[in-house]
Homo-oligomer: A and B are copies of this chain.
Amino acid sequence: MSNPFFKNSGPFKISELVKLIKIEDYKYNTDIEIIDIKDLIDSGKNEITFYHSKKYKDAAIRTNASFCLTYENLKNDLPKTCNSIIVNNVLFSTSLITAKFYPSSISDEFDSTVKSIEVTKYKNNVKFGKNVLIGDNVVLSENCSIGHNSIIEKNVKIGSNCSIGSNVIIRNSLIHENVKILDNCVIGKHGFGFFPDKTNNLRYPHIGIVIIEDNCEIGCNSTIDRGSMSNTVIGKNTYLDNQIHIAHNVKIGKNSIIAGQVGIAGSTKLGENVKIGGQAGISGHLKIGNNVEIGGGSGVIKDIPDNSKVMGYPAKNFRDFLKENR
């Protein structure tokens, strides 16, 4: 999927890009124009991608990208159609090139394009409270309501029959139909991603968005961060209670139920019909299967297969947890 919101400043000649990441002796034809940067799976001809861990070997073998930022020891996994560019730190170089293509994706300063909904075309077909602000490139569908003091910043599309509470801030998000977002939520800000540096950490760009599918409900004071290269997705008919934090790139399947104060760390993927008790935490980059139940207060630090019920910190089989704690 091409990025729906962040404006692509490309194309750029490969010579410009390698110069940016301080590759001096680059040997390929430097006039080739690169049109975008994407992950291994989504990238195609005349696009650049990145490959930084064996974990993604399956995707690397199949990539259609013309160029790939990678390490010496990984380059042979790439197909012949993909030219490897060897760098010292793949993610850092990826970050620099992404920032070149999408300069507006780095800063999350408040949106200065907003204006009162009363002077927009939505004045007559949306129900709204006092002091509602609407940014550029916002689409609001029929029969929506938006509460007091809420700010729909630029790059948001909200489907029909949605109800947005008061004091809500949304940016860079696709909200499907019949979704409820309760008071004080912040949806679509950049994730907690940066390269640590002893003087001044370097933020990496977040060109992903937040997608909230039909019939979801998001509880008060929750935060859902947008993705870095991919998107953060809340599946259909999934309900989140209050004070929940969903980090960048997380994907939650449909019909899931997540109780208050749960936190899900970056890039973790949950299946469908997952139930999570209050205050549970799930580490990043994990895969949680379908129909999984996670007890309240659990700390999940490894993958969980389909149809499992776990509890504890670290989370283990539910019966074992009860047995050990009788």
Contacts and interface: CB of A to CB of B under 8 A. Distances in A.
Given A114-B130, A165-B110, A239-B192, A265 B259 contact: yes
B145 A110 contact: yes
A247 B223 contact: no
Interface in A273-314: 277-279, 281, 283, 296-297, 299, 301, 312-314
Interface stretch (A33-41, A45-53, A204-212, A213-221): A213-221
A217 B199 CA distance: 13
Count identical subunits in the complex: 3
Interface string A140-162: 00000111110100000000000
Interface string A224-268: 010000000000010101110101000000010101110101000
A194 interface: yes
A260 B255 contact: no
B169 A169 contact: no
Interface residues of A, number: 74
Given A114-B129, A148-B151, A245-B243, A186 B220 contact: yes
Interface stretch (A11-19, A95-103, A176-184): A176-184
Interface of A is mostly: loop
A84 interface: no
Q: Name, among A109, A296, A297, the residue most crowded by chain B CB atoms within 10 Å (CB to CB).
A: A297
A43 interface: no
Given A194-B239, A219-B192, A297-B281, A163 B109 contact: yes
A326 B223 CA distance: 33
A189 B198 contact: no
A261 B215 CA distance: 27
Nearest to A129: B110
A252 B203 CA distance: 21
A237 B202 CA distance: 10
A263 B279 contact: yes
A167 interface: yes
A201 interface: yes
Contacts of A277: 283
A297 B299 contact: yes
Given A133-B130, A283-B296, A196 B245 contact: no
Contact of A189 (B183, B200, B313): B183
A192 B259 contact: yes
Q: Name, among A116, A194, A242, the residue most crowded by chain B CB atoms within 10 Å (CB to CB).
A: A242
Interface of A: 107-112, 114, 116, 127, 129-131, 133, 145-149, 151, 163, 165-167, 169, 178, 180, 182-184, 186, 189, 192, 194, 196-201, 215, 217, 219-221, 223, 225, 237, 239, 241-243, 245, 247, 255, 257, 259-261, 263, 265, 277-279, 281, 283, 296-297, 299, 301, 312-314, 316, 325
